[in-house]
Structure 1
């Protein structure tokens, strides 16, 4: 518990579960008044920290819902200091299987949503002369898993949106950055792993993709968001910060060489 965000009002979209919930609770740990905006209400599924959060209905695909949500936050709390655009979704389909409706849905949630949230929150940040926007992008904004064409396109778009907002809003005292998670241990990712018959093998190989030797935890994304939302990062804007255990920094090797590399890492040192 700390006070790095004491007196600040923070919005976290898609904050009922997973990474979004970890972010909301971490900001609350540091004194922020946190409003979770989400279509779903899963408070009963995980009661930890709920009493410190305010839950309000929000559909980031609908401009009217966003406008009403922001108006409601201002009526109740009087200001907005931090916006975390976390709401997102993924579709796992080849380009042949993807429909125009699939594409439009991903764009509406993952890219149009952050744009509209910023559109309606920025005037209030401009009024108070400061503010921080943290978008949740992905390492798939610059490297891509198979069958994630539309998802990767939306996350690359989020990165571009971040750059534009940082440049345009800097003179108003508003910073904008993006956190790019690698493989994180969320309910969604666990469900994907559990589809495979040899779960332990999948988990081990996922860990080996990361030079640090493991996958990430939601709290590690939340810690990065906290840093960007606080004055500790006051001269940081327009950045895409990967939180991925160096996964994107390791050049792929042939399987036999990669095995030798991993064996050296795990070999006891004299």
Structure 2
């Protein structure tokens, strides 16, 4: 089968749900998808200034915002139902919503453990479970999960976040194989250090923000910190028909750091 010629807009007439899409990687992905011709359902657990800003930026014709906590299965089903009611279908799901939980294993509270998995693993399944019937009915769909370099390498002091991200990569592979013959592709992306608002705030909290920024950049073989748009472009590729033979796969976006041997 020869490859078709793709239109200049790589997601023309597609409908995408992007969870956690008012800031950071999610917002960059939503903006890029709209530029590439998609209608986008924006999401956050907060209906705040960031949500209003991106919804206004993208415009009512191109995007709608639905407040929903990914940890709430009923809320995610409601989000999908609203997406279908507004745009008629769902072609793409980007599971971006997540949260950091870093704690000493023996000092971590049960609430911290539960919330980490409720958002970083259950949240992905809640959204995926809600879109699968629609995708299976049409025999087509692309799901992209935003995992993490923590799903490949263990950084001390970050428990239990890596546990959830390892499980998320396992979920990606399992679902990708489970539904491959029915037209559904499930892949994941594992970003390393990306200059999101959260990372900017972390740098600002350091005693010497610029020194810490330089230290972190020096750890990367490429000598710089990644940008949200660089993750968004990989999500675009995986969501597009250009990646139609890619399934059950994880792509690392970490500037090569996870492949570097440290003394």
TM-score (norm 2): 0.92
| Structure 1 residues 181-260: aligned runs within 5 Å | 181-253=191-263
Helix, strand or coil for the counterpart of 1:97? coil
Whole-Å Cα distance in 1 between the matches of residues 51 and 82 of structure 2?
20
Which runs of 5 or more structure 2 residues have no equivalent in the other structure?
A: 1-6
Alignment correspondent of 1:132: 142
Helix, strand or coil for the counterpart of 2:104? coil
Whole-Å Cα distance in 2 between the matches of residues 212 and 146 of structure 1?
23
Alignment correspondent of 2:40: 34
Alignment correspondent of 2:94: 84
Alignment correspondent of 1:60: 70
**Conserved 8 A contact 2:55-2:64:** no
| Structure 1 residues 16-165: aligned runs within 5 Å | 16-41=22-47, 42-45=50-53, 49-51=57-59, 52-165=62-175
**Conserved 8 A contact 2:139-2:184:** yes
Which runs of 5 or more structure 1 residues have no equivalent in the other structure?
A: 254-270
Helix, strand or coil for the counterpart of 1:105? helix
Whole-Å Cα distance in 2 between the matches of residues 67 and 48 of structure 1?
24
Deviation at 1:2, TM superposition (A): 4.1
Whole-Å Cα distance in 1 between the matches of residues 56 and 253 of structure 2?
24
Alignment correspondent of 1:168: 178
Deviation at 1:129, TM superposition (A): 1.2
Deviation at 1:46, TM superposition (A): 5.6
| 1:9 paired to 2:9 | no
Q: State the Cα deviation string for residues 137-174 of structure 1 (Å, max 9, x = none).
A: 00000212232111111101110000011100101101
Alignment correspondent of 1:256: none
Helix, strand or coil for the counterpart of 1:83? strand
TM-score (norm 1): 0.90
Deviation at 1:45, TM superposition (A): 5.0
Aligned residues: 253
**Conserved 8 A contact 1:2-1:31:** no
Whole-Å Cα distance in 2 between the matches of residues 191 and 93 of structure 1?
19
Whole-Å Cα distance in 1 between the matches of residues 51 and 68 of structure 2?
15
Which has the larger displacement, 71-80 or 106-115? 71-80
Helix, strand or coil for the counterpart of 2:248? coil
Whole-Å Cα distance in 1 between the matches of residues 53 and 103 of structure 2?
29
Alignment correspondent of 2:3: none
Q: State the Cα deviation string for residues 69-103 of structure 1 (Å, max 9, x = none).
A: 11111111111000000000012221122111100
